[in-house]
Amino acid sequence: MKTLGRNELKEILIRNWMTHDAMWFFHCLQECGIEKTNKINKAAVRAMGIIEIKRIQKALGIDKVEAFEDFKLLSDATWDIVKGKFMRFSYSYPAKNILRGDFENCFAYEGIKQLGAIERYQCAIFERIYGWFDGMGIKYSVSPQVEGCMMHTDGKCFREFTFNFDK
């Protein structure tokens, strides 16, 4: 029997989590319809993000995030933990107090499109990130404000977050 390395184990766990998420969405969609599924999904993902970031902070020994440099360290560590190889997106810090995320392709978009629900899908990917920020207790604004799925409507997806550190 083969022993799995850290990266192989991480990929399996992340893929399993994303499969659970997709199957939950699919069955909720069948049972409740798209409007209620969107509402429940966004609330659940955001709440999970709050819990998730607190666990990561505790594991890393980070009590508070009070400055942008602290945020960047926690953010980089968090992405290292939660991002799978199949997740084709990038993030950067183009200026002080700014985080930008760009999707090259979106696994949620592809999955929801296969389900035939993309026209009325409300993206919950960023709800997880909003949950992280809420869990850290930091203030932020996000641009653009998006209803639906930006990958579907614009053929690309990105967000820019501005934080209120040092203000």
Omega cis (within 30) before 144:
yes
CA-based nearest residue to 74, from 87, 89, 88, 93: 93
The domain total for the chain is 1
Q: The domain that contains 107 carries what CATH number?
A: 3.30.1380.20
* Residue linked to tokens 């709440």: 47
With contact defined as beta carbons under 8 Å apart, do 46 and 128 qualify?
A: yes
pLDDT-derived band at 86 (thresholds 50, 70, 90) equals: confident
Tens digit of each residue's pLDDT (9 = 90 or more) over 47-57: 999 999 999 99
pLDDT-derived band at 151 (thresholds 50, 70, 90) equals: very high
134 is a domain residue? yes
pLDDT-derived band at 105 (thresholds 50, 70, 90) equals: confident
1 is a domain residue? no
78 is a domain residue? yes
Range of the domain at 98: 6-163
